[in-house]
Amino acid sequence: MKIVENLEQITKPYKKAVITIGNFDGVHIGHQALFHEVIEKANAIGGTSIAMTFEPHPIRVLKENNHPPLITLYEQKVELIERSGIDVLICVPFTREFAAISARDFVEDILIRRIGMTIIVVGADYAFGKNREGNIDHLRTFAELFDFQVILADWIQEANNSSARISSTKIRNLVISGHVAEVRKLLGRYYQIRGTVATGRNRGGRLLGFPTANINIHDELCPKIGVYAVTVEFRNIKYKGVANIGYSPTFDDYIFTVEVHILDFNENIYGQKIRVNFISRIRDEKKFANINELSKQIRRDVEKAQEILS
């Protein structure tokens, strides 16, 4: 996949460009269906499949501090879109100046003249241009004027719920509430956080008998406080593990941490980047009477995780 991070990098229109446009936060199965349709249409006409997104997320620019946490930061979003098989990802730097472009100029100057769009695939609620002035009716009018095709993609519904479509908002709320097993059905994969292993308080292995990797997470969206069965990716190898998100109430220090005990693993990974996939929530975080009781509970958590992950 070719990645274009500035429209000025596009020196000539793409061959029979088939494009979809969106923020694609989460790159959930609804987004994946859009990409699949774009690729299918591009292949049918011998064209180029293109996804256009924006960085930063437009709401960060337009609403400033009033915005929800992102499900996927830019690095992961790019990886997931590439995995879909799209030919070209255009990531437009989103600014207030870009936001001020009229709907017609966006279509005529950017999509038609610069990118070479022949087909656009979007959802029924797609809006574009200054103050989101452009809608599907405008897009169809422009299609007649500039000779391109508009394809409205069907909403992807949640399994066993024909009235609820998959959305980034629904996924975000499920992660925040700890329903990580449900999230997989909407993402088509387990929810993942990424981070760097930092020096902790040196008590996981020493006091509890379960050494942990203390993670400085890079992501904005963190699952609900509690204990989870997870898998951990390190240097392209996947390990089983147990993650604790919370404030260590048994130790009374109440510092927020994300810690992972990686099963059957004894490497020194301080300063290394790892990825943690949340498979299932095991229990709430709780305060124990003493360290011995906490250690016994962690052992039960490990056994439960092994059962879940087997």
Q: Considering the chain, what is the average pLDDT of its residues?
A: 92
Tell me the pLDDT band of 253, cut-offs 50, 70 and 90: confident
Looking at residue 209, what is its pLDDT?
60
Tell me the pLDDT band of 206, cut-offs 50, 70 and 90: very low
Looking at residue 20, what is its pLDDT?
98
| Closest by Cα among 80, 162, 114 to 12 | 114
Q: What's the N-to-C CA distance of the chain in angstroms?
A: 35
Provide CATH 3.40.50.620 ranges for the chain. Answer: 10-158
- Widest CA span in the chain: 74
pLDDT in tens, 152-198: 998 787 766 655 789 999 999 999 999 999 999 999 999 999 999 99
CATH class of 10-158: alpha beta
Sequence-distant (≥ 6) Cβ neighbours of residue 226 within 8 angstroms = 178, 244, 245, 246, 281, 282, 283, 284, 285
Residue for token pair 């999509």: 111
CB contact at 8 A, 110 and 35: no
Which tokens belong to 86?
Answer: 């799209």
Q: What does residue 236 show for φ and ψ, rounded to 5 degrees? A: 65, 15
Say yes or no: domain 190-309 is CATH 2.40.30.30. yes
pLDDT in tens, 282-292: 999 998 988 88
Res 147 pLDDT > 50: yes
- Give me the DSSP letters along 206-244: HHHS---EEEEE--S--PPSEEEEEEEEETTEEEEEEEE
pLDDT in tens, 23-72: 999 999 999 999 999 999 999 999 999 999 999 999 999 887 778 999 99
Provide CATH 2.40.30.30 ranges for the chain. Answer: 190-309
